Amino acid sequence: MEREFYELGELEPKAVKLFGISTGTKLDEMFWKVERKGDRFIKKPLGGIPFLSVINITGLPDSGKSVLAEQFAVVQASRDYKILFVTVESPANFLYTSMKVKAEYLGLDFSKVLKNVIVIDASMNDEFRENPKALMDTMAYVIREKHTNNVIIDSITGLYEHKEVMARQIVRAFFNFLKKWKQTGIFISQKRSAQIAESAEAAGGLAVAHIVDGTIVLDKKLVTTRWDSNMYRMPVGSVLRTIRIDGCRLTGHDSRTWIFEITPGGTINIISPLEEYISKRAGGSSVE
């Protein structure tokens, strides 16, 4: 039986090591840990999202959530780590082409991606979407048989889309499941159009953000006015994409808003903090 209380020192053998699981983006440098060196402390990049964390990626439609999750999967799989990818929105066969393009664009070995990414298609299976236990039983089988290291659910919102009152219960169940099976996880959560784009709130309220270990918010802004055009030094009609680590309880992180782009190869390229981007553009040429 599990004990109901522990002295803190008794937990040392079970303590989780703090290191990063690479996303293949500048996010790897935006999470950090603090180490003591002599009589002072220094910040060191963690190298990715924290090991065994469950991170929520949220944002408006077409803000780059799935792009980031797929890039994470491709990078990890190319390093011979196993990925369980639960697709709730798009049929599984669409993942093949998307991941193949990303792997080739990043110069990664796609043959490793083919053998190291295991897909559960919940988009075409009503029972998986309506019955969390059925989905978790299948996930447990895959984790046990394939020895996976990382789990992506795209999207967790699809598992409670017409029953948001149960969002907290469902998210908590999958969060605890990943902790039990010692998996590093990414949950994709969707926003309603009425929600504030820059906040961590998504469909189901703050159910995901309150439960998970950290949240990354992606946003896109359409430049529609001359004022926006002058501020960002971008033509009217351009799209400005931003990314921000809204919070992480496991480690230090850069909380600034950063500019990023989605490359022709369908990957995330994080460019610079927003204030630096604006400053450099203001000091350059006028809008083209």
The mean per-residue pLDDT over the stretch 18-25 comes to: 96
Q: Is there a domain that residue 5 lies in?
A: no
Domain ranges, residue 135: 17-216
Domains contained in the chain, number: 1
* Mean pLDDT across 200-205: 65
pTM listed for this prediction:
0.91
Instruction: Please report whether residue 95 resides in a domain.
Output: yes
Per-residue pLDDT tens digits for 163-183: 888 889 999 999 999 999 999
**Whole-number percent of the chain with pLDDT over 70:** 92
In sequence order, the 6+-apart residues with CB closer than 8 A to the CB of 228 are: 221, 234, 236
Give the pLDDT band of residue 112 (cuts 50, 70, 90): very high
**pLDDT score of 203:** 60
> 272, 259 in Cβ contact below 8 A?
yes
The CATH number of residue 119's host domain is 3.40.50.300
Alpha carbons 82 and 150: distance in angstroms, whole number: 7
Coil/strand/helix, residue 169: helix
Task: Examine residue 77 and state whether it is found in any structural domain, yes or no.
Answer: yes
Confidence band for 209, pLDDT divided at 50, 70 and 90: confident
Nearest-10 crossing angle of helices 93-105, 65-78: 70
CA distances from 265 to 62, 76, 210, 256 (A): 15, 18, 34, 26
Residue, of 231 and 183, whose pLDDT is higher = 183
DSSP per residue, 69-102: HHHHHHHHHHTT--EEEEESSS-THHHHHHHHHH
**Is 256 within the bounds of a domain?**
no
Q: What's the confidence (pLDDT) of residue 242?
A: 96
CB within 8 A of 220, min separation 6: which ones? 59, 60, 62, 63, 64, 197, 239, 240, 241, 242
| Model confidence at 255: pLDDT above 60 | yes
Residue given tokens 């990314």 in the structure block? 243
Reported as a single tens digit per residue, the pLDDT across 54-77 is: 999 999 889 999 999 999 999 999
Q: Which residues pair with 260 in a beta bridge?
A: 241, 270
Instruction: Kindly report which listed range (16-25, 131-140, 155-164) carries the lowest average pLDDT score.
Output: 155-164
**C-alpha span between 22 and 217 (Å, rounded):** 18
Four-CA torsion 178, 76, 200, 236, nearest 10 degrees: -160
Domain assignment present for 276: no
Q: What pLDDT shows up at residue 201?
A: 65
Decide if 112 contacts 143 (C-beta within 8 A): no
Q: What is the mean pLDDT of residues 141-148?
A: 98
pLDDT digits (tens, 9 = 90+) for 115-124: 999 999 999 9
